[in-house]
Amino acid sequence: MAIIEVNQQKITFDQNSYLNIKSFIPKLQKEFPIEDYALDFFRVNGHSVDINSEDPLLIRPINDQDHIQISFHQNRVNIKNIIVDLGLLIDRILSKIEKCASDFKDDDQIINDVNLSQIIEGVDTFINTVKHILADHATKHEHYENLPIKELQIHLLSVLKAINSVFQKDDLIMLTDLLEFELKDNLTQWKILILPTLKSKTNTIA
């Protein structure tokens, strides 16, 4: 049975459903749309193939001995846009922190719950998005070795844990301190130190 690997992962493939290798390409382009992904290589039995050509390897029938290797990476322009969006997300979270700290003084439990939940949701989105970017790009590049990325990640998670703990205890004074100083400082460091570097080095990432 023919073997197909996409980004080093074997995928289920019914070779009898396709006339030839070229007829399989539309399925790949559906799963990895060209506006979001770029093709690194397409190899058939170790030979590199241009999928837009009339290479005989593309138009012959697929046989049981074929080993097809394909690699995609996420489009760099989109990654840059995501990094810009992360900066805007930080701005929104920082603005919400200011409002949240002010509203705490009114001691309105419902408003406090809503404000804090919006902050936590925003930070969760930030954490997950950064994790995705770093897994695919930053940790593979020497430019990031001297940045305090790991330290900021660990600190951010510990701040979230502390926020949840003091909120459960209804300690609004400590909660305000955590938001206005610890969380605000952490996110500000991401914005002024980490994100600009991620954005500037994206073009050099392979």
Other C-beta atoms within 10 Å of 186: how many?
21
Say if residue 21 is in the same domain as residue 121: no
Q: Is 205 a residue whose pLDDT tops 80?
A: no
* Domain termination residue (choose one: 50, 74, 98): 74
Say if residue 96 is in the same domain as residue 194: yes
pLDDT of residue 200: 82
- Convert the pLDDT of each residue in 129-146 to its tens digit: 898 788 765 445 555 678
Q: Is 41 a residue whose pLDDT tops 80?
A: yes
Long-range contacts (CB closer than 8 Å, 24 or more residues apart) made by 187-190: 187/90, 187/93, 187/94, 187/123, 187/126, 187/156, 188/90, 188/94, 189/148, 189/152, 190/86, 190/90, 190/126, 190/130, 190/152
pTM of the predicted protein model: 0.62
pLDDT of residue 143: 59
Region 104-116 average pLDDT? 79
Domain that holds residue 33: 3-74
